[in-house]
């Protein structure tokens, strides 16, 4: 097909980041005018990077972009907007204290008598375009006061009034209730009828099936197939999406799990967007086993981990470690129960970047008797401890007093892991423990995790890396929409099956899921 | 920043900032003085050396005066170090100096202890009282999230007017022309360390001891460690299980105690009666000192010396030449702006970081290779 | 005693004094409002007022024109704002430290500069001539009304300006495109930049405007209030303005009400200091204590709102 017939054509897009991770490798992506085109793939498959390139937020290392047959080159979103491309970000780019109309005209406010905003015009513009595009909003309401669904419409309108003909929607339904989702779909279909082209990024197969005309599937930075939505089954999509490239082989002995360490009972949580992020989650983790939590991101894993480490309070339900209720406890108490936590966001929670390696590895134990003599630190003991950990976890640093922020990503993660794994934990919560780090560090961290579990620790492993959870876990929990969709403890799982549960195509019976609690 | 090249860069950058600031000062001297070179000589070397009929004399009295002037600013500098290390922009050190001076002074007049312990009690009482005063902005911050900056600024004025009220209505010695208290009892006066009128009191020794103590506190105790970690990354500190709220309160209380101690030592060491009727300004100088010292207590006396030296130089310049002593504020402001600028010479720093990192990596890889084997084995 | 006090307070000239005392604080508080709306803490207001008070006076003295003096002060204030902006936005000096540096310049640097330009020390003394001072105006009709006329008429031009500026700043922030951009940049810079608004540019504009407004306050101080410049004359008004901004919820009208509270307290203090048995110092405390209390109440209400997700609300 020639460029001329396409609304959008991206050819051979490659994006390599400075840390030599190729986020996109020779991706071809094209969209016909007036279609709704789904772009799907696991987290880290490269969808966001591709769309950032399309919206001028990143520049491709290689490749060409054609809009309506014309070659274009964007150096900022402003350029992309000028070429008729609009994007609705997952985190809304709205100013809460401003009204809907003010948000819509921000940066292009209509004027009257020279220097004043013509508010009547702004309201009129908002109202008129809302009507024209069939997106109902309250022009004079403050954004802080309106529901999430309406905020999203405001975002769509913002793009449309700036002349967008191609709309990129980044996981628009992730923050919506099911009614709001139904409304959004109707509106998107209307826009399609008016001739707009829509790129719809999603993980949810039922939505993709319902809404879109064609699908591009991405995996590991590449496009792995383009289909007409009607001509492909959900199972096929799922298989393509989560197919494995590398089979890791991790050696681990079989276990006979001990007694229950972590008992999670009926957890419910409504997140900041008013969404039921956790909807009655019950399971347990026993000593000596690794329980993996699989699932597409945004299905409640984040909230679960935060609650377990006292960073959020659940609406109802409890989590107990060794019989002691965790919820509402300060982190110091949680740690004193023998819980340790490898956080997903290592730069924010895991380390103090401007402090030394030593200061970072002792942050959970510096108050202990061993390291203090009266009011003073026993510096010798501190040095001994940090040197031991640096050696044990092969942290590549010049000295223990080197700034952690100067180390590589893998070594920073080793610092975090060295601290969290070495405090004789009874429960380890590992959240994306190997994301974005080199192979060597990954291998070391996985091996240590298995060693610790075989030595009797209970491990809860949350990871978006399906290979990782499948290889490391002794039993597996799959999250879907804030609920447990499946529990597997026989070690017989494969990616196809996982994909079906992760994407909501299959769901176990309550009885089968109930086994997860070992009650 | 701890490796040698970065340390060197840090020093070079600081020196550049100081030279630039002095250059700014020099420009103003040339603009305003008829004898700019004499003025510059007084500013830069006058505090140490005097010139008489072609001969150069080392002036010990001047040096003692500089040491004396360092007493309150070492304390406020330390106070700011501790509070800024915890990322608390508490500016009430200024008010605490005044409060400490007043409390120490009043006890010095009215308390009867017939031994050297009198002075000790006065200073300690002022110290404790100012620690308690600092609880106000600290608790408001931790419990309610009220900006410690605004509350501490207001606190300065509240302290000022409360002190003036009591000074005027309860403690003023009406026999004197100006508003001041009766003379301190001799037992409360902080004794001078050296002969002469330099006002270099035992307070100087106490200031150096306090420096050592705070340096130990910040780098050798669990509380100092927690304060520094909170300042670097509060989320990390919370996640590690530190008691963040309590530590933030502690940092500010210590800041108040140090300021109060500095104020009382200054008042009892320099004057015969309590006579401050406005905020003395040491709190603000303390901020300059802390910034020059990069929040490290060890460097506080050095920074305080530098500021006191410049101050003395400016004074000499104004007595002997036609340049007002307030030149010091222009130089201080310039130092302040350049010294605190993260991006000052940042291009150079960036190059250095990249170069160092690449070299390190190569060296470490080579190291590992020569030891013969992967470290994950 | 109380009777005396009330007699003194319930007089037209008392209200007149309140308005006069409020004006410079109000200028600075509005300056703080604009900066804060763009997400900039302008703690340098105190210093900017000192410096602009001096330059306003000097310009007026050199040209013998109060109008040029006021314009000079505004210009100086705007420039100082840009200097703060340059150091904080470009060289990444912490904005609070940049403000403190400006305050140092204001405290001692002004004495130096006065000496450099005029050879005088500490105050402008005999340089003051009627041409330099900001004139007062009688408002035609209101002047005739008894009591009210005495309160409201006969103020300096800039006094009226201060209250007019409450409206103008409100107009700027809420009715103009630049104001919309300022509010957007202060609240969600990502949202602003995603639609092509220059975040840095807007911050520069806001801090320059803030400096210019503080310049009006400075000019008012030296060219009307104190009838000349002296080294102690701003006396914390910049800091008070910062508090007035916070207590007034960052809104122009709120800032005006808080400024009036300060003006009232200061006027009371002047009255009370003439009376037996009333400590003018304790009266002086009122505005500062009121600010702290105001902040406490404000913080409690904020905290209550944020309670639901409070635990997660750790600073990034």
Q: Which residues contact B212 (CB under 8 A, 6 or more apart)?
A: none
Contact A398 B360 (CB under 8 A): yes
Show residues of chain C in contact with B150, CB under 8 Å. 242-243, 246, 291, 295
Contact A93 C177 (CB under 8 A): no
| Contact with chain A for residue B233, Cβ under 8 A | yes
Q: Supply φ then ψ for residue C8, to 5 degrees.
A: -70, -40
Cα separation, C186 vs C245, in Å, equals 15
Contact B232 A353 (CB under 8 A): yes
DSSP characters for B46-62?
A: TTTEEEETTEEEE-HHH
Instruction: Tell me which chain A residue has its CA closest to the CA of residue B1.
Output: A403
Does residue C16 have a pLDDT over 50? yes
Higher pLDDT, A319 or A115: A319
Q: What integer is the mean pLDDT of C267-295? A: 78
CB pairs under 8 A between A and B: 87
For residue A370, CA distances in Å to A9, A102, A378, A389 come to 64, 60, 8, 16
pLDDT digits (tens, 9 = 90+) for A283-315: 999 999 999 999 887 889 989 999 999 888 999
pLDDT of residue C157: 87
Show residues of chain C in contact with B164, CB under 8 Å. 281
Cα separation, C100 vs B290, in Å, equals 13
| Contact with chain A for residue B3, Cβ under 8 A | yes
**Which of A331, A339, A376 is best to mutate for the B interface (most B CBs within 10 A)?**
A331
Q: Which of residues 89 through 128 in chain B touch C, CB cutoff 8 A?
A: 89
pLDDT of residue A299: 87
What residues pair up with C211 in beta bridges, in sequence order?
A: none
Collapsed DSSP state (helix, strand, coil) of residue C230: strand
| Contact with chain B for residue A350, Cβ under 8 A | yes
Percent of chain C, pLDDT > 70? 91
Contact A403 B1 (CB under 8 A): yes
Q: Which of residues 140 through 179 in chain A touch C, CB cutoff 8 A?
A: 158, 162
In chain B, how long is the greatest CA-to-CA distance?
87
Nearest to B312 by CA among B6, B70, B4: B70
Nearest CB to B241 within list A364, A379, A443: A364
Collapsed DSSP state (helix, strand, coil) of residue A94: coil
pLDDT digits (tens, 9 = 90+) for A166-179: 999 988 887 777 77
Touching partners of C (3+ C-beta pairs < 8 Å): A, B
pLDDT digits (tens, 9 = 90+) for A411-441: 899 999 999 999 999 999 999 998 877 777 8
Helix axes B60-85, B300-320, angle to 10 degrees: 130
Nearest to A452 by CA among A476, A480, A420: A420
Under the banding of pLDDT at 50, 70 and 90, the label for residue C220 is very high
CA-based nearest distance C144→chain B, Å: 40
**Which of C39, C46, C96, C104 is best to mutate for the B interface (most B CBs within 10 A)?**
C104
Return the C-alpha torsion angle A342, A347, A348, A353, nearest 10.
Answer: 120
Cα separation, A355 vs B305, in Å, equals 28
Nearest CB to B284 within list C104, C242, C299: C104
CB pairs under 8 A between B and C: 149
Contact C288 B158 (CB under 8 A): yes
CA-based nearest distance B345→chain C, Å: 9
**DSSP classification of residue C224:** I
pLDDT of residue A361: 95
Return the C-alpha torsion angle A193, A195, A197, A198, nearest 10.
Answer: -30
Contact A93 C187 (CB under 8 A): no
| Contact with chain C for residue A90, Cβ under 8 A | no
**Which of B153, B172, B230 is best to mutate for the C interface (most C CBs within 10 A)?**
B153
| Contact with chain A for residue B241, Cβ under 8 A | yes
> How many other CB atoms are there within 10 angstroms of residue B251's CB atom?
30
Instruction: Please say whether the beta carbons of A312 and A269 come within 8 A.
Output: yes
Show residues of chain A in contact with B221, CB under 8 Å. 375-377
Helices in chain B by DSSP H: which ranges?
4-32, 36-44, 60-85, 93-110, 117-139, 148-166, 203-220, 222-232, 234-239, 244-270, 282-292, 300-320, 327-339, 346-370
CA-based nearest distance A107→chain C, Å: 6
Contact C279 B155 (CB under 8 A): no
Collapsed DSSP state (helix, strand, coil) of residue B308: helix
At CA B103, angle to CA C281 and CA C108, rounded to 5? 65
Cα separation, A485 vs A481, in Å, equals 9
Contact C196 A311 (CB under 8 A): no
Contact A331 B2 (CB under 8 A): no
Cα separation, A443 vs A461, in Å, equals 15
Show residues of chain B in contact with A355, CB under 8 Å. 228-229, 232-233
Cα separation, B334 vs B152, in Å, equals 25
pLDDT of residue B372: 40
Cα separation, C28 vs C245, in Å, equals 9
Touching partners of A (3+ C-beta pairs < 8 Å): B, C
| Radius of gyration of the CA atoms of chain B, in A | 24
CA-based nearest distance B300→chain A, Å: 21
pLDDT digits (tens, 9 = 90+) for B46-63: 888 877 777 888 888 899
Pairing of strands A8-16, A36-40: unpaired
pLDDT digits (tens, 9 = 90+) for C183-198: 999 999 988 988 888 8
Show residues of chain A in contact with C177, CB under 8 Å. 109, 111, 115, 117
CA-based nearest distance B256→chain C, Å: 18
For residue A244, CA distances in Å to A49, A247, A425, A499 come to 21, 7, 32, 11
Does residue A316 have a pLDDT over 60? yes
**DSSP classification of residue A57:** S
Residues in chain C: 316
Cα separation, A241 vs A225, in Å, equals 10
CA-based nearest distance A362→chain C, Å: 21
Touching partners of B (3+ C-beta pairs < 8 Å): A, C
Cα separation, C147 vs C141, in Å, equals 13
CA-based nearest distance A232→chain B, Å: 45
Nearest CB to A117 within list C175, C191, C316: C175
CA-based nearest distance C251→chain A, Å: 13
| Contact with chain A for residue B56, Cβ under 8 A | no
**DSSP classification of residue A230:** G
Pairing of strands A324-325, A316-321: antiparallel
What residues pair up with A293 in beta bridges, in sequence order?
A: A462, A477
**Which of A83, A93, A106 is best to mutate for the C interface (most C CBs within 10 A)?**
A106
DSSP characters for C165-214?
A: HHHHHHHHHHHSHHHHHHHHHHH-HHHHHHTT--HHHHHHHHHHHHHHHH
Return the C-alpha torsion angle B162, B168, B169, B170, nearest 10.
Answer: 90
Q: What is the pLDDT along chain B (377 residues), one digit of tens a residue?
A: 446 777 787 788 888 888 888 898 899 888 888 888 988 888 888 888 877 777 888 888 899 999 999 999 999 999 999 999 999 999 999 999 999 999 999 999 999 888 889 999 999 999 999 999 999 999 999 999 888 988 998 999 999 999 999 998 888 888 877 788 888 988 989 989 888 888 899 999 999 999 999 999 999 999 999 999 999 999 999 999 999 999 999 999 999 999 999 999 999 999 999 989 989 999 999 999 998 898 999 999 999 999 999 999 998 988 888 888 888 888 888 888 888 776 666 666 666 666 665 665 566 556 555 544 333 33
Q: Which of residues 263 through 282 in chain A touch C, CB cutoff 8 A?
A: 272
Q: What is the mean pLDDT of chain C?
A: 86
Cα separation, C138 vs C152, in Å, equals 9
Helices in A115-271 by DSSP H: which ranges?
119-132, 148-161, 178-193, 205-211, 234-242
pLDDT of residue C55: 95
Under the banding of pLDDT at 50, 70 and 90, the label for residue A21 is low
What residues pair up with A22 in beta bridges, in sequence order?
A: A16
Burial of C277 (0-12, 13-18, 19+ CB in 10 A): exposed
pTM, two decimal places: 0.85
> How many other CB atoms are there within 10 angstroms of residue B346's CB atom?
14
For residue A3, CA distances in Å to A83, A142, A185, A197 come to 15, 42, 28, 15
Nearest to A411 by CA among B356, B232, B375: B375
Complete domains list, chain A, with CATH: 3-242 (3.40.50.300), 260-516 (3.40.50.300)
Cα separation, A185 vs A164, in Å, equals 18
What residues pair up with A72 in beta bridges, in sequence order?
A: A65
**Which of A95, A117, A269, A345 is best to mutate for the C interface (most C CBs within 10 A)?**
A95
Collapsed DSSP state (helix, strand, coil) of residue B252: helix
Cα separation, B21 vs B15, in Å, equals 10
Q: Which of residues 99 through 158 in chain C touch B, CB cutoff 8 A?
A: 100-105, 107-112, 115-116, 121
Cα separation, A314 vs C307, in Å, equals 13
Contact C312 A111 (CB under 8 A): no
At CA A78, angle to CA A73 and CA A80, rounded to 5? 45
List for chain C the helix, strand, coil content (%; round to 5).
75, 0, 20
Does residue A204 have a pLDDT over 80? no
For residue B49, CA distances in Å to A166, B46, B56, B199, B313 come to 77, 5, 6, 20, 11
């Amino acid at each position: 097909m020639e460029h001329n017939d396409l609304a959008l054509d991206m050819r051979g897009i490659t994006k390599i980041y400075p840390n030599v991770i190729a986020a996109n490798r020779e991706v071809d992506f094209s969209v016909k005018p007036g279609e709704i085109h789904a772009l799907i793939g696991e987290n880290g498959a490269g969808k966001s990077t591709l769309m950032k390139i399309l919206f001028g937020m990143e520049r491709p290392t290689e490749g060409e972009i054609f809009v309506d047959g014309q070659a274009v080159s964007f150096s900022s979103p402003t350029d992309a907007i000028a070429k008729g491309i609009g994007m609705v970000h997952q985190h809304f780019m709205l100013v809460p204290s401003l009204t809907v109309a003010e948000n819509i005209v921000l940066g292009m406010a209509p004027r009257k008598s020279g220097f004043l905003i013509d508010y009547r015009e702004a309201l009129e513009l908002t109202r008129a375009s809302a009507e024209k595009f069939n997106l109902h909003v309250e022009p004079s309401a403050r954004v802080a006061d309106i529901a999430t669904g309406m905020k999203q419409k405001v975002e769509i309108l913002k793009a449309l009034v700036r002349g967008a003909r191609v709309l990129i929607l980044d996981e628009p339904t992730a923050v919506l209730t099911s009614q709001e989702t139904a409304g959004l779909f109707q509106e998107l279909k209307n826009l399609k009828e008016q001739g707009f082209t829509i790129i719809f990024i999603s993980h949810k197969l039922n939505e993709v099936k319902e809404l879109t005309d064609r699908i591009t599937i991405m995996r590991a930075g590449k496009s792995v197939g383009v289909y007409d939505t009607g001509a492909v089954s959900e199972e096929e999509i799922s298989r393509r999406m989560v197919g494995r490239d590398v089979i890791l082989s991790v050696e681990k002995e079989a276990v006979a799990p001990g007694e229950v360490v972590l008992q999670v009972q009926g957890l419910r949580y409504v997140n900041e967007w008013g969404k039921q992020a956790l909807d009655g989650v019950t399971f347990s983790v026993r000593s000596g086993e690794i329980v993996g939590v699989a699932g597409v991101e945004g299905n409640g894993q984040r909230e679960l981990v935060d609650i377990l480490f006292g960073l959020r309070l659940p609406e109802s339900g409890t989590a107990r470690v060794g019989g002691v209720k965790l919820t509402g406890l300060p982190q110091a108490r949680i740690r004193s129960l023998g819980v340790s936590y490898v956080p997903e966001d290592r730069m924010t929670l895991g380390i103090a970047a401007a402090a030394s390696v030593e200061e970072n590895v002792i942050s959970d134990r510096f108050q202990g008797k061993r390291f203090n003599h009266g009011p003073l630190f026993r510096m010798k003991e501190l040095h001994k401890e940090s040197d031991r950990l640096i050696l044990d976890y092969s942290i590549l640093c010049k000295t223990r007093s080197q700034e952690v922020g100067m180390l590589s990503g893998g070594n920073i993660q080793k610092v975090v892991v060295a601290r969290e794994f070495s405090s004789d934990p009874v429960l380890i919560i590992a959240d994306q423990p190997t994301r974005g780090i080199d192979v060597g560090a990954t291998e070391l961290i996985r091996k240590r995790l298995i060693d610790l579990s075989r030595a009797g620790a209970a491990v809860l492993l949350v990871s978006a890396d399906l290979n990782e959870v499948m290889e490391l876990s002794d039993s597996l929990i799959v999250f879907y929409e804030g609920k447990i969709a499946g529990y597997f403890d026989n070690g017989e799982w494969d990616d196809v099956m996982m994909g079906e549960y992760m994407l909501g195509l299959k769901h176990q019976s309550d009885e089968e899921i109930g086994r997860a609690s070992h009650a | 920043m701890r490796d040698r090249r970065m340390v060197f860069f840090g020093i070079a950058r600081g020196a550049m900032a100081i030279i630039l600031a002095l250059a700014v000062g020099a420009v103003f001297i040339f603009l305003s003085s008829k004898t700019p070179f004499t003025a510059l000589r007084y500013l830069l070397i006058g505090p140490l050396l005097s010139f008489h009929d072609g001969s150069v004399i080392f002036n010990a009295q001047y040096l003692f005066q500089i040491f004396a002037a360092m007493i309150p600013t070492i304390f406020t500098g330390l106070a700011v170090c501790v509070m800024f290390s915890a990322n608390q922009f508490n500016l009430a050190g200024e008010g605490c100096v005044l409060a400490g001076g007043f409390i120490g002074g009043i006890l010095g007049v009215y308390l009867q202890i017939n031994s050297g312990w009198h002075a000790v009690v006065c200073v300690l009482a002022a110290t404790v009282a100012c620690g308690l005063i600092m609880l106000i902005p600290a608790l408001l911050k931790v419990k309610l999230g009220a900006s410690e900056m605004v509350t501490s600024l207001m606190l300065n004025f509240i302290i000022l007017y409360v002190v003036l009220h009591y000074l005027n209505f309860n403690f003023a010695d009406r026999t004197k022309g100006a508003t001041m208290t009766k003379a301190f009892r001799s037992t409360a006066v902080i004794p001078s360390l050296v002969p002469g009128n330099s006002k270099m009191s035992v307070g100087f020794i106490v200031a150096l001891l306090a420096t050592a103590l705070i340096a130990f506190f910040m780098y050798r105790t669990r509380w100092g460690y927690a304060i520094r970690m909170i300042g670097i990354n509060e989320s990390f500190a919370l996640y590690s299980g530190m008691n963040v709220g309590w530590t933030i309160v502690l940092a500010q209380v210590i800041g108040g105690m140090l300021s109060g101690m500095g104020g009382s030592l200054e008042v009892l060491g320099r004057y015969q009666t309590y006579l401050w009727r406005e905020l003395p300004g040491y709190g603000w100088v303390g901020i300059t000192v802390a910034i020059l010292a990069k929040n490290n207590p060890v460097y506080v006396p050095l920074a305080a010396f530098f500021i006191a030296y410049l101050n003395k130089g400016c004074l000499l310049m104004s007595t002997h030449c036609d340049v007002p002593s307030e030149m010091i504020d222009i130089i201080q402001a310039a130092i302040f702006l350049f010294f605190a600028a993260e991006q000052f010479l940042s291009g150079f720093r960036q190059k250095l970081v990249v170069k160092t990192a690449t070299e390190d990596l190569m060296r470490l890889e080579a190291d590992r290779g020569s030891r013969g084997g992967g470290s994950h084995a | 005693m109380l009777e005396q006090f009330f007699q003194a307070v319930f007089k037209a000239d008392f209200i007149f004094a309140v308005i006069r005392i409020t004006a410079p604080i109000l200028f600075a508080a509005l300056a703080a409002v604009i900066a804060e709306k763009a997400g900039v803490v302008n703690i340098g207001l105190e210093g900017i007022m000192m410096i602009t008070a001096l330059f306003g006076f000097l310009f007026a003295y050199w040209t013998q024109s109060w109008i040029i003096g006021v314009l000079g002060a505004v210009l100086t204030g705007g420039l100082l704002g840009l200097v703060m902006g340059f150091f904080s936005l470009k060289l990444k000096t912490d904005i609070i430290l940049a403000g403190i540096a400006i305050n140092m310049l204001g405290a001692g640097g002004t004495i130096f500069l006065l000496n450099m330009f005029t050879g005088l020390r500490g105050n402008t003394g005999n340089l003051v001539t009627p041409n330099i001072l900001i004139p007062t105006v009688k408002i035609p009709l209101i002047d005739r009304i008894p009591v009210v006329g005495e309160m409201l008429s006969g103020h300096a031009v800039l006094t009226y300006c201060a209250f007019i500026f409450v409206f103008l700043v409100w107009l700027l922030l809420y009715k103009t495109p630049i104001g919309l951009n300022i509010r957007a940049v202060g609240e969600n810079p990502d949202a602003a930049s995603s639609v092509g608004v220059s975040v840095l540019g807007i911050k520069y504009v806001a801090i320059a405007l803030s400096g210019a407004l503080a310049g009006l306050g400075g000019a008012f101080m030296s060219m009307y209030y104190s009838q000349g410049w002296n080294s102690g004359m701003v006396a914390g008004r910049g800091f008070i303005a910062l508090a007035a901004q916070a207590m007034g919820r960052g809104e122009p009208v709120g800032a005006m009400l808080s400024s009036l509270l300060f003006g009232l307290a200061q006027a009371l203090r002047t009255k009370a200091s003439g009376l037996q048995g009333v400590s003018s110092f304790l009266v002086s405390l009122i505005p500062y204590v009121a600010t702290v209390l105001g902040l406490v109440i404000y913080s409690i209400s904020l905290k209550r709102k944020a309670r639901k997700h409070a635990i997660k609300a750790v600073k990034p």
